[in-house]
Structure 1
Amino acid sequence: MGGGGIDEIHTVSIHLRMDIDPNRLDWNHLRAFMVTAEAQSLSAAARILGLTQPTLSRQVAALEDRLGLLLFERVGRGLALTDAGREVLTHVQPMGHAAHSATIAASAQRSDLTGWVKITASDIMSATLLPAVISAVRKTAPQLQVEVVATNDISDLMRREADIAIRHMRPEEPDLVARMVREAKGYFYANRSYLDRVGRPNTRADMAKMDWVAYGNIDRMVEYMTGLDIPLTPDNFRTSSADGLVAWEMGRAGLGICPMDESVGAAAPEMEALLPETLQVAFPVWLVAHRELHTSPKIRLVFDMLADAIAAR
């Protein structure tokens, strides 16, 4: 991609570049940059925008040349924003959200926004996020019907088991459109009454002496936590459930430590994050749909409203 102005990366924003006329910035180039930043991949962004990859690359390069900044750098098979890219993105995303809102408002006036749209997501996200989003969808398009498939298994969009999926991994299938809409954080929580009884851990080794609640396969959790320098054994897990909501409720009941998305944990004042300054887990939230997204107004409407809700979560 084109670039330049590397010495200015840490200090320059669009609004501070007095030599650039904002009216001469091409919205198509700004949108290409924004979607590429969110998808972290040229090929994925090209699928979202319905462009060829070379065309998308040229649009991003044109914006870099216009701004005199390097916006992306390659990291392995993907792309990462430079400091300048992150700064520019903070200005471009509100424009993108405004465009989404206008598109949603226009789409809602269409007479063909009827029938079912099926969304699949984890049980926790289905319970904590989707009811509010579906309520907004119903107000925007009253004739739409929405089904939620609450499962921790990944439904196969290629077999049309769902129209839209919320996942924590980027899909590999070329016929799917994916957008990373949020980089979420999780912490390890325990009920305050449990901590009052057994004491609060000061180190990760202290956490290995406490009771834990397992989400699903205990051996996998042991392996994962060991990788985080918390040397658990199967004996640490005194309770377990494959259902994330059930496991969380057991943690809230004081039965041990359990991981949770920070947005859910923050809504439970009786739960306390353990070692929050040094122990957190980051995970992406991907919104995925079939290519029909580009031709189905109802799927596009729900997809866009989900993207806005997850990004603001």
Structure 2
Amino acid sequence: MDWRSVTFDWNRARAFLVTAEEGSLSAAARALGMTQPTLGRQVTALEEELGVVLFERVGRGLVLTESGTRLVEHVRAMGEAAVAVSLAATGQATDVSGPVAIAAPELYAMWLLPPVLKRLAEVAPGIRVEVVSSNRMSDLKRREADIAIRNAAPDQPDLIGKRLTDDTAGLFCSPDYAASLGEVRGPAELDKARFIGFEENAPFVAALTQRGVAVTDTSFGLRTTSHAVHWEVARQGLGIGIGPVTLGSGDPLLVQVLPEVTFDYPVWLVAHRELKTSPRVRIVWDLLAEMLPRLLKG
């Protein structure tokens, strides 16, 4: 290898990668625990070192330029290699063993966790994982799980949290059901549509109403306690359901209804303060924090 050709600073490359993953300097600065001006200087310095413009500003966010898009995959591979080095250095990951329980909402458990668990089996094969798949918020203080993926910040003093990114949900149904609705030009035209609800349906009703979709109890021909079932019956044409836009957009059995009607929410990692000092929990935490933002963005 010609080491003389490597002329850029890894810290600046990391700043670029995290900014690309988070979509803004402010979010990237929070993720790295540094000030926004410092992070901005690192990204600018990398652009000057490489002689390219990496981002264009769009509104309050940043969008990769063509040059930035070409470079980000290479820098992402560097980031994954750095994580592997960190795992090996912090307690010899391959020698760490024992159980770790991860609590996650059903859709996240079936969609996001498998690739993370596959990677974990490679870097720390001695860790035995229990997946607690539930839409109920697990009680970490009672040790129902060691780490939880949540859509809300922890509100108890003994818990610690890291906001990873934001996710966006949309309305989805099967192509056949969409065809039966005809052309839908706005939320008001869904007043006769059949929706798939939840056991605790009031938050969903309120969110739909706020966005101009007039729903009543009779709009919900089916309700379920399971988000996985909710998603599957939408795929089977029983009505309109709700789920992550990234997941639904990649599903050939679903189409998005009114793409302008979306629902944004944060994604947090949460753990008990004491447990994060455990080497095996630390390894799982770091891997989730590194991989989930990318998986959520597809």
The interval holding the TM-score normalised by the smaller chain is 0.7 to 0.9
1:308 to 286, 291, 296: 291
Per-residue CA distance 1:54-78 (angstroms, 9 max, x = gap) = xx799779979999xxxxxxxxxxx
Report matched runs for 1:163-182 at 5 Å.
163-174=146-157, 175-181=159-165
**Which residue number in structure 1 is paired with residue 104 of structure 2?**
121
Distance verdict in 2 for CA 1:247–1:228, change over 3 Å: same
CA positional deviation for 1:43: 8.9
**Which amino acid in 1 is paired with 2:220?**
F
**Which residue number in structure 2 is paired with residue 104 of structure 1?**
87
* Structure 1 SS opposite 2:264: strand
Matched, 1:275 2:246: no
Report matched runs for 1:34-73 at 5 Å.
none
Per-residue CA distance 1:167-212 (angstroms, 9 max, x = gap) = 111223344132324x222221111112223324221111122000
**Which residue number in structure 1 is paired with residue 272 of structure 2?**
290
- Aligned partners of 2:78 and 2:176: how far apart in 1? 46
**Which amino acid in 1 is paired with 2:149?**
I
Q: Is the 8 A contact 2:224 2:230 kept in 1?
A: yes
**Which residue number in structure 2 is paired with residue 144 of structure 1?**
127
**Which amino acid in 1 is paired with 2:115?**
A
Per-residue CA distance 1:148-182 (angstroms, 9 max, x = gap) = 1111111122332211111111223344132324x
Q: Is the 8 A contact 1:29 1:59 kept in 2?
A: no
Per-residue CA distance 1:227-265 (angstroms, 9 max, x = gap) = 111111111100000110111111112111111112321
Q: Is the 8 A contact 1:44 1:177 kept in 2?
A: no
CA positional deviation for 1:109: 3.7
Structure 2, unaligned stretches of length 5 or more?
Answer: 1-5, 47-59
Matched, 1:299 2:259: no
Distance verdict in 2 for CA 1:108–1:200, change over 3 Å: farther
**Which amino acid in 2 is paired with 1:210?**
A
CA positional deviation for 1:44: 8.7
Distance verdict in 2 for CA 1:57–1:295, change over 3 Å: farther
Distance verdict in 2 for CA 1:132–1:32, change over 3 Å: closer
2:200 to 217, 226, 237: 217
**Which residue number in structure 1 is paired with residue 228 of structure 2?**
245
Matched, 1:131 2:114: yes
CA positional deviation for 1:102: 2.3
**Which residue number in structure 2 is paired with residue 162 of structure 1?**
145
* Structure 2 SS opposite 1:302: helix
* Structure 1 SS opposite 2:261: coil
Distance verdict in 2 for CA 1:195–1:33, change over 3 Å: closer
Q: Please, what TM-score do these two structures have when normalized by structure 2?
A: 0.72
**Which amino acid in 2 is paired with 1:163?**
D
Structure 1, unaligned stretches of length 5 or more?
Answer: 1-21, 47-52, 68-79
Matched, 1:193 2:168: no
2:245 to 254, 262, 276: 262
2:210 to 224, 227, 230: 227
Per-residue CA distance 1:76-134 (angstroms, 9 max, x = gap) = xxxx8799xxxx9x989876555323213445844641010000000111112222321
Q: Is the 8 A contact 1:218 1:237 kept in 2?
A: no
- Aligned partners of 1:186 and 1:192: how far apart in 2? 18
CA positional deviation for 1:24: 10
- Aligned partners of 1:309 and 1:125: how far apart in 2? 10
- Aligned partners of 2:149 and 2:202: how far apart in 1? 25
* Structure 2 SS opposite 1:280: strand
How many residue pairs get matched?
273
What root-mean-square deviation, in Å, do the aligned CA atoms of Structure 1 and Structure 2 show? Answer: 3.9
Q: Name the stretch that deviates more: 191-200 or 36-45.
A: 36-45
Distance verdict in 2 for CA 1:45–1:154, change over 3 Å: farther
* Structure 2 SS opposite 1:279: strand
